[in-house]
Amino acid sequence: PICSQRPEMTNRKIAAEALSLLLRQSLAGRYSLSLFDVRKTVTGGRAIINSISEYEKTTGERLSSRPEGFTVKSGSLSLIFYDDRIQSRERINWTLAHELGHVCLRHTSDGKREESEANRFAAAFLMPEDVLRFLDCSLGRELTPTEMTHYFPVSLTAAKRRRYSLPSDGTAPTPEGIELVRRLFGSSYGSETAISHLII
């Protein structure tokens, strides 16, 4: 019998899942997202994040090859592990955001489609489009990738990929995106006039 494959998730759906998780976090203030440590993500009981060193210590098992990150399912709970020998905070953030993508998007395999979706989730989680569009409008031009690294907890490479992958015309902001912008930039940005600037 031929198995029907699940259709690839749309960017809109993936972004909605990322925003839903972001709104669970205690983010408030212009630079709170840039200081966000993904290791401390509140997952609502869906996942626990820990280091590979802790995994090895607890299980007594030494990993022959040390991946940057991986996820183990334990019933309804996902255990996410990351390589704590990585020096780059931005690399750890991306690795964990990618693994959280697998969890939040309910992946059951690691095929090319799932990897692509997890990467798109990581980009939407670490660099939400509605926040980026708001910053663009506030500045009166598109932020450069270098400027993006001041607002988002990512590497320059990740910022470049995100900047150049977004369509230039933008999309209408979502209620969740508007709420995140309010949290980051204050209630003064809650007016309809200010929020309308999110639409480019």
pLDDT score recorded for residue 160: 98
Q: Which residues of the chain have a pLDDT value below 70?
A: 1-6, 170, 187-200
| pTM attached to this predicted model | 0.89
pLDDT per residue as tens digits for the range 68-120:
999 999 899 999 999 999 999 999 999 999 999 999 999 988 899 999 999 99
Residues forming a β-bridge with 79: 48, 72
Tell me whether strands 77-82 and 69-74 are parallel, antiparallel or unpaired: antiparallel
pLDDT score recorded for residue 187: 59
